[in-house]
Amino acid sequence: MQLFPLCQSQTFGTDIIVRIKEHFFSDFSHGVFQKRKYFLLHDMGGIGKSQICLKFIEEMFDW
């Protein structure tokens, strides 16, 4: 899968990625996830939601 880089004008995405990481890893203790979690990312079309999600997946792939 080829990921396209985030546009330089979409620097807001890094703040959102940090919040997504905090959400998913807040209940991570003793090497075990405690429960299933969901995160809804919504906004106007063309704002970069898919790119933010792809960037999050790319960063977590090496984790």
pLDDT-derived band at 59, boundaries 50, 70, 90? confident
Q: 12: part of which helix (H) or strand (E)?
A: helix 12-25
Any idea where the domains of the chain sit in the sequence? 36-63
Q: Rounded to two decimals, what is the model's pTM?
A: 0.61
Note whether 59 and 17 are within 8 A (CB).
yes
Does the structure show a pLDDT above 70 at 1?
no
Render pLDDT for 25-54 as a digit per residue (tens, 0 to 9). 777 666 666 677 888 888 898 888 888 888
